[in-house]
């Protein structure tokens, strides 16, 4: 959430910067300024009434003592009238506060200066392209056929149990999933991240804190009876560990990692690259989250990008890193790098990670602050997160890229985790 004082002091800057996200903020910003001016006028009037009431309260006792009963009664009557006026103004003040807040939460985060302009994924900037794309020849199979051939994943059984987008993993497919999860968690732990096992459902406050709520796109699964939400990513519960918390500056950066199942309705995506593991409603992911000092958050972002890059390198996957354009960024991000791996059988790039700096946007909603040594007043922290990594498309690329006439070769780093070198 953008800081209200920043919006007031820099209305034109906010409007101009949000154009890069293809968001027209002019009407919202104008209304916020108008309401805030009205709020200040109400505050001035309320302060005048309170001052008059305090003065009269002191005079009433004196008037009674002097025997001026009529004047004292008139003063008491005026005091009651002022109390009613102040109450009415307080109600108007609170109403305007709520109106301003409802407008404020509609504004996306301001993109960083290096975010490229653009509206679609085609406008994203490729900052790195690495790894050799395998030549599998004419006999190559897509991962959904490999999954059926080696009895790894049953998509139809998932449809029977739940619906499309909820696959059932079996045998070596299940062990391969578990191997990847443990590998990613161990690598995060080596990089200094503390592992968290979070809940898979969260309340409204948590969804609001990280910017998933209000859920304008309807992407979250809602447990209506209890008013809880299935998490779309472990980012939500892990970042909310620090909601309404004041950290000591020396604690920063705080580094957490978590494995979780993730649930996304993927509304509006039907018929769009949904074959096999390409787009699911439930999937597994290991997340890394950091709370950082504002002066160091972009150094932290570079560190997190390097961590994710090390994972795809160790898995031997060809990859590229994209700096997302304004139109392809999330509502909450100030800067995002996407990782894509090459799917040799499908002959296309698959997104497997997003690593983002939200600057103070989430922390402002979370009231997540820190206090440097010697400071009395705490300040808003910066939050960052990244997929390290999301499993479905990683699995798809590993199955496809490592297929041979003898079977599927397991990457060397995963063999100790899954206990086999080949899927046959």
For 261, the enclosing helix (H) or strand (E) is strand 254-263
Q: DSSP letter for 200, please.
A: S
Q: CA angle at residue 12 from 11 to 17, to 5 degrees?
A: 105
* Helices 171-190, 297-314: crossing angle, 10 deg rounding: 140
Residue 85 known to bind ligand: no
CA 250 remoteness from chain centre? 25
Residue 353 known to bind ligand: yes
Do residues 325 and 118 lie in contact, with contact meaning Cβ atoms separated by under 8 Å? yes
Q: Is 313 strand, coil or helix?
A: helix
Check whether the bond before 214 is cis (ω within 30° of 0).
yes
The first and second tokens of residue 400, run together, are 């496809």
What is the spatial distance between Cα 321 and Cα 351, in angstroms, rounded to a whole number? 10
Do residues 358 and 334 lie in contact, with contact meaning Cβ atoms separated by under 8 Å? yes
Residue 187 known to bind ligand: no
Residue 266 known to bind ligand: yes
Residue 269 known to bind ligand: no
What is the spatial distance between Cα 121 and Cα 273, in angstroms, rounded to a whole number? 15
Residue 289 known to bind ligand: no
What is the spatial distance between Cα 46 and Cα 52, in angstroms, rounded to a whole number? 10
Residue 178 known to bind ligand: no
Q: Kindly list the strands in the beta sheet with 403-404, ordered across the sheet, starting from the edge strand earlier in the chain.
A: 403-404, 407-409, 422-423
What is the spatial distance between Cα 221 and Cα 204, in angstroms, rounded to a whole number? 12
> In Å, how far are 44, 66, 90, 94 from 80, measured between CA atoms?
19, 22, 15, 21
Q: Is 363 exposed, middle or buried (0-12, 13-18, 19+ CB in 10 A)?
A: buried
Place of tokens 């109403």: 95
Question: In the chain, count of helices (H) and strands (E)?
Answer: 13, 19
What is the spatial distance between Cα 49 and Cα 267, in angstroms, rounded to a whole number? 53
Q: Is 403 exposed, middle or buried (0-12, 13-18, 19+ CB in 10 A)?
A: buried
Residue 264 known to bind ligand: yes
Place of tokens 């990859």: 319
Residues making up the annotated binding site are 233, 264-266, 287, 351-354, 385
The binding site for ATP comprises 264-266, 351-354
Which residues make up each annotated binding site for L-serine?
Answer: 233, 264, 287, 385
């Amino acid at each position: 959430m953008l800081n209200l004082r920043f919006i007031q002091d820099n209305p034109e800057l906010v409007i101009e910067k949000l154009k890069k996200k293809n968001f027209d903020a002019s009407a919202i910003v104008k209304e916020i300024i108008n309401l805030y001016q009205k709020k200040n006028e109400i505050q001035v009037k309320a302060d005048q009434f309170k001052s008059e009431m305090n003065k009269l309260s002191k005079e009433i006792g004196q008037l009674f003592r002097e025997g001026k009963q009529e004047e004292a009664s008139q003063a008491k009557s005026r005091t009651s009238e002022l109390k009613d006026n102040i109450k009415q103004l307080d109600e108007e003040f609170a109403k305007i506060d709520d109106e301003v807040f409802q407008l404020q939460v509609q504004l996306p985060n301001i993109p960083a200066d290096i975010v490229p302009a653009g509206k679609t994924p085609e406008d994203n900037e490729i900052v790195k392209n690495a790894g050799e794309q395998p030549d599998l020849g004419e006999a190559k199979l897509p991962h959904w056929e490999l999954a059926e051939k080696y009895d790894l994943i049953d998509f139809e059984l998932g449809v029977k149990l739940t619906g499309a987008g909820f696959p059932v993993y079996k045998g070596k497919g299940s062990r391969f999933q578990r191997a990847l999860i443990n590998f990613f968690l161990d690598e995060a732990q080596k990089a200094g991240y503390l592992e968290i096992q979070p809940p898979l459902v969260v309340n409204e406050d948590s969804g609001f804190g990280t910017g998933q709520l209000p859920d304008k796109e309807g992407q979250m699964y809602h447990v209506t009876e209890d008013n809880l939400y299935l998490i779309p990513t472990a980012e939500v519960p892990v970042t909310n560990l620090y909601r309404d918390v004041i950290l000591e500056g020396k604690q920063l950066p705080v580094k957490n990692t978590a494995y979780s199942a993730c649930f996304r309705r993927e509304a509006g995506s039907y018929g769009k690259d949904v074959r096999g593991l390409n787009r699911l409603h439930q999937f597994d992911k290991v997340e890394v989250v950091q709370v950082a000092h504002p002066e160091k958050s972009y150094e932290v972002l570079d560190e997190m990008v390097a961590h994710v890059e090390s994972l795809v390198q160790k898995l031997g996957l060809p990859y590229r890193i994209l700096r997302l354009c304004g139109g392809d960024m999330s509502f909450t991000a100030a800067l995002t790098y996407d990782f894509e791996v090459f799917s040799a059988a499908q002959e296309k790039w698959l997104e497997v990670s997003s690593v983002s700096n939200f600057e103070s946007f989430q922390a402002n909603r979370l009231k997540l602050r820190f206090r440097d040594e010697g400071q009395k007043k705490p300040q808003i922290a910066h939050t960052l997160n990244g997929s390290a990594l999301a499993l479905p498309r990683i699995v798809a690329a590993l199955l496809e890229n490592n297929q041979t006439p003898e079977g599927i070769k397991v990457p060397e780093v995963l063999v100790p985790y899954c206990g086999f070198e080949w899927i046959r």
